[in-house]
Amino acid sequence: MSNYHCTNKSEYRKAYEDSVRDPESFWTAIAENHFQWKKPWKSVLHWDFSTPEIKWFEGAQLNITENCLDRHLNTRADKTAILFEPNDPSEEAEHISYAQLHKRVCAFANVLRTQGIKKGDRVCIYLPMIPELAVSVLACARIGAVHSVVFAGFSSNALATRIADSDCKMVITADGSFRGNKTIALKGIVDEALKSCPGVTTVLVAKRINSNIQLQQGRDLWLQPLLDNANEDCSAETMNAEDPLFILYTSGSTGKPKGMVHTTAGYMVYTAFTFKNVFQYNENDVYWCTADIGWITGHSYIVYGPLANGATTLMFEGVPSYPDFGRFWEIVEKHKVTQFYTAPTAIRALAKERLVNIDDYNLSSLKVLGSVGEPINEEAWHWYDDKIGKNKCPIVDTWWQTETGGIMISALPGIIDTKPTFATLPLPGVQPALMDENGKEIAGDPASGRLCIKFPWPGMARTIWGDHKRYKDTYFSAFENMYFTGDGALRDEEGNYRITGRVDDVIIVSGHNLGTAPIEDAINEHPLVAESAIVGFPHAIKGTALYGFVTLKETATSEEKLKSEINALITKEIGPIAKLDKIQFSEGLPKTRSGKIMRRILRKIACGETEDLGDISTLLNPEVVQEIIDASKK
Ligand code: PRX
């Protein structure tokens, strides 16, 4: 017997208790009964949070694509695996069956092999949301290459940093992408990035927008002719359980982005298990996650989790506002979507739209609604529940992180009661703890503190690429023998968790994780800028937006021009998602006597909470505070 699928509350309770009492037996039963292994494991779990070292299913051998594709061929060959909905609604949707996806992945994998990619090589994927993105991810996994997908909204500099950090040999891209009524020239961005990445020897280019682009001789190749000539059989590389599957970059509070490394067996088991339970997927359901595969949500819950369960997963190329704000609902109606998973920022943007009448769409296929990426505010929660779910679809508010690999805290629809703004209960296998300022666990409910996890789960990232020390320092040093999430949370009398937000210098804008340091570095590149500090402030659609306090070396002739130059620099270094909504110039920034900028004060000023700034007398320069407050009100 395994606890793979909890269908009622007592099964959830039993699974949870089993998973805490004897985690190894719990995960053994799940792994044994629901996956295909080339060789079984010798030890289920080896862990030490002090080093930190985490190994699941050591000794086992497998290939994740055999679990996502081959093993479904007997029973689901003709079932749609990927349902592709293009940007332009008049372009036909594409239904890619499991048999077709298997062939496409194998052909692509053979192209990679022919181009000299071997097990362990890193391949950067910089593609829009077209089928080639999912196919190339799986093709890498097929031959044991480590994929590093970079969201195609990142700038050439951000792309170059990521390519260089993990030493990628190849980039897979497209001539361009469609986004609503715009096109983006992706290949040009790649060309720019590669000027500083000599390690990349091959660029494969998918044709999407049919633009006139230059191929660099000896480096760039059109993808399609290679696929046309490739064999559609490709043996799956034998992977060890702990071989890296992929690298995915996420922002840290300081320094360059962190390349989180996920490994093969544990990640597969965890994403499959959480997908099945959180979305209660049934055989004929059509599941849709609106994220981009460039983020962890897309990796785990568009590609690996759904495919490991033989699900139909919808991939949408476009944006919620094109051709109008009814697009999501049109797609739900057209494809009879049963589970719909999106982000609070999208919900808020759609809720605000008065021109679209939701009642014009038939949303009766929906059974489960999901939310991810940031805390969902009560108003958005109720709108989602009333207007989209018609009060009949449970909302799963799923809390997790790039680092956790899969969902950690969430209701199970129809099984665990939902509560607006609460992610609710930990999934089986997840042991959260709330810690106080002195590093002690807070026992009993209600409680509020810093959210940690005290026991390993199979989906957790194992290291930061090339910087294990940073992995240890960031996640395992704040609290002894605990994984520290960086989030604050509170727990109610029933043990439900509510995530209150980051307690470090990471800011979540529209569900995207942005570190303050790289943005400040970009601003400081401007010749007129002396110093800068970024904080978050509440924003009706984005949840949190960015507010920059900037000091100048000399007075600017035009502040407006300077502001747009600063945002242009940020766009160049990181991408448009990191642009500032507000920029304020000031004579100085509040600092401690040791010279550290007091962001706490700036955060309060940005939020307009200037009555209670706490004790500022110990500052090095308390006089600047009033000046900044006055200017913020102008
Ligand atoms: O602060 C939490 C917030 O997003 C952070 C993780 O961001 P990222 O690694 O980009 O992954 C996002 C998608 C999994 C968390 O530390 N966060 C994510 N989901 C929620 C959330 N905050 C509140 N409620 C959530 N459901």
Residue among 304, 376, 400 whose CB has most ligand 1 atoms within 8 A, to mutate: 400
Ligand 1 centre distance from Cα of residue 499 (Å): 9
Residue of minimum CA distance from atom 21 in ligand 1? 374
Domains of the chain and CATH, by start = 9-319+398-475 (3.40.50.12780), 506-633 (3.30.300.30)
Residue among 247, 369, 513, 542 whose CB has most ligand 1 atoms within 8 A, to mutate: 513
**Tens digit of pLDDT for each residue in 382-437?**
999 999 999 999 999 999 999 999 999 999 999 999 999 999 999 999 999 999 98
Match 């990628």 to its residue by tokens: 168
Residue of minimum CA distance from atom 22 in ligand 1? 374
Q: How many CB atoms lie within 10 A of CB 9?
A: 13
Strand-pairing partners, residue 61, are 39, 240
Residue of minimum CA distance from atom 12 in ligand 1? 373
pLDDT at 618 over 80: no
Residue among 401, 430, 504, 509 whose CB has most ligand 1 atoms within 8 A, to mutate: 401
Residue among 267, 407, 424, 487 whose CB has most ligand 1 atoms within 8 A, to mutate: 487
Residue of minimum CA distance from atom 24 in ligand 1? 375
Please state the φ and ψ torsions of residue 249, each to the nearest 5 degrees.
-85, 140
Ligand 1 centre distance from Cα of residue 43 (Å): 31
Residue among 270, 369, 374 whose CB has most ligand 1 atoms within 8 A, to mutate: 374
Position in ligand 1 atom list of the atom nearest CA 402:
9
pLDDT, residue 495, reads 97
pLDDT, residue 355, reads 85
Question: Computed over its alpha carbons, how large is the radius of gyration of the chain?
Answer: 24
Backbone region of residue 75 per phi and psi (left: phi > 0; alpha: psi in -120 to 50; beta: other values): alpha
ipTM: 0.99
pLDDT, residue 617, reads 79
Ligand 1 centre distance from Cα of residue 401 (Å): 5
Q: How far apart are CA 418 and CA 581, in angstroms?
A: 34
431 close to 29: Cβ distance less than 8 angstroms: no
pLDDT, residue 599, reads 87
Position in ligand 1 atom list of the atom nearest CA 423:
26
- Closest Cα to residue 499, out of 444, 431, 438, 451? 451
Of 19-28, 454-463, 500-509, minimum mean pLDDT range: 500-509
Ligand 1 centre distance from Cα of residue 235 (Å): 37
441 close to 455: Cβ distance less than 8 angstroms: no
Q: How far apart are CA 330 and CA 2, in angstroms?
A: 39
Q: Residue 378 to residues 47, 233, 302, 385, 426: CA-CA distances in angstroms? A: 39, 51, 27, 10, 21
Tokens representing 363 are 């949303």
pLDDT, residue 101, reads 98
Buried b (16+ CB within 10 A) or exposed e, 222-242: ebeebbeebeeebebbebbbb
> In Å, how far from its chain's centre is CA 464?
16
Q: How far apart are CA 163 and CA 183, in angstroms?
A: 24
Q: What is the mean pLDDT of residues 342-364?
A: 94
Tokens representing 509 are 């804008």
Residue type, 19: S
Residues in the chain: 634
Ligand 1 centre distance from Cα of residue 326 (Å): 26
Position in ligand 1 atom list of the atom nearest CA 295:
10
Ligand 1 centre distance from Cα of residue 316 (Å): 22
Residue of minimum CA distance from atom 2 in ligand 1? 374
Residue of minimum CA distance from atom 5 in ligand 1? 401
pLDDT at 296 over 90: yes
Ligand 1 centre distance from Cα of residue 400 (Å): 5
Q: How far apart are CA 180 and CA 353, in angstroms?
A: 17
**Tens digit of pLDDT for each residue in 39-55?**
999 999 999 999 999 99
Work out the angle at residue 119's Cα, subtended by the Cα atoms of residues 114 and 121, and round it to the nearest 5 degrees: 85
Q: Residue 258 to residues 172, 201, 255, 395: CA-CA distances in angstroms? A: 21, 24, 9, 31
- The tally of CA atoms less than 13 A away on the side-chain side of residue 148 is 28
Ligand 1 centre distance from Cα of residue 540 (Å): 18
Of 125-139, 335-349, 509-523, minimum mean pLDDT range: 509-523
Confidence band for 263, pLDDT divided at 50, 70 and 90: very high
User: Considering the chain, what is the average pLDDT of its residues?
Assistant: 96
pLDDT at 104 over 80: yes
Q: How far apart are CA 65 and CA 57, in angstroms?
A: 17
Task: Please tell me whether residue 379 adopts helix, strand or coil conformation.
Answer: helix
Confidence band for 209, pLDDT divided at 50, 70 and 90: very high
pLDDT, residue 529, reads 94
> In Å, how far from its chain's centre is CA 529?
32
250 close to 513: Cβ distance less than 8 angstroms: yes
Q: Residue 622 to residues 97, 590, 616, 628: CA-CA distances in angstroms? A: 65, 7, 6, 11
pLDDT, residue 43, reads 98
Pocket of ligand 1 (CB under 6 A): 250, 296-297, 372-375, 397-402, 423, 485-487, 499, 502, 508, 513
Q: How many CB atoms lie within 10 A of CB 440?
A: 12
Residue of minimum CA distance from atom 3 in ligand 1? 374
Residue among 292, 399, 409 whose CB has most ligand 1 atoms within 8 A, to mutate: 399
Ligand 1 centre distance from Cα of residue 207 (Å): 33
Residue of minimum CA distance from atom 25 in ligand 1? 399
SS (H, E, C) 29-85: HHHHHHCCCCECCCEEEEEECCCCEEEEEECCEECHHHHHCHHHHHHHCCCEEEEEE
Q: How far apart are CA 618 and CA 598, in angstroms?
A: 11
Confidence band for 518, pLDDT divided at 50, 70 and 90: confident
Q: How far apart are CA 473 and CA 460, in angstroms?
A: 16
Ligand 1 centre distance from Cα of residue 513 (Å): 8
Of 120-129, 181-190, 509-518, minimum mean pLDDT range: 509-518
Ligand 1 centre distance from Cα of residue 89 (Å): 31
**Tens digit of pLDDT for each residue in 560-576?**
999 999 999 999 999 99
pLDDT at 615 over 90: no
Residue of minimum CA distance from atom 18 in ligand 1? 373
Residue of minimum CA distance from atom 11 in ligand 1? 401
Ligand 1 centre distance from Cα of residue 467 (Å): 23
For 593-615, the DSSP string reads TTS-B-HHHHHHHHTT--S----
Q: How far apart are CA 634 and CA 630, in angstroms?
A: 7
Q: What is the mean pLDDT of residues 206-218?
A: 97
Ligand 1 centre distance from Cα of residue 373 (Å): 4
**Tens digit of pLDDT for each residue in 521-531?**
899 999 999 99
Residue of minimum CA distance from atom 23 in ligand 1? 375
Ligand 1 centre distance from Cα of residue 17 (Å): 26
Ligand 1 centre distance from Cα of residue 457 (Å): 17
Ligand 1 centre distance from Cα of residue 455 (Å): 20
Tokens representing 252 are 């840290």
**Tens digit of pLDDT for each residue in 582-593?**
999 999 999 887
Ligand 1 centre distance from Cα of residue 339 (Å): 20
Residue of minimum CA distance from atom 6 in ligand 1? 401
Confidence band for 1, pLDDT divided at 50, 70 and 90: low
End-to-end CA distance of the chain: 66
pLDDT at 360 over 80: yes
Match 């055989």 to its residue by tokens: 283
Q: Which helix (H) or strand (E) holds 106?
A: helix 98-114
Residue of minimum CA distance from atom 4 in ligand 1? 373
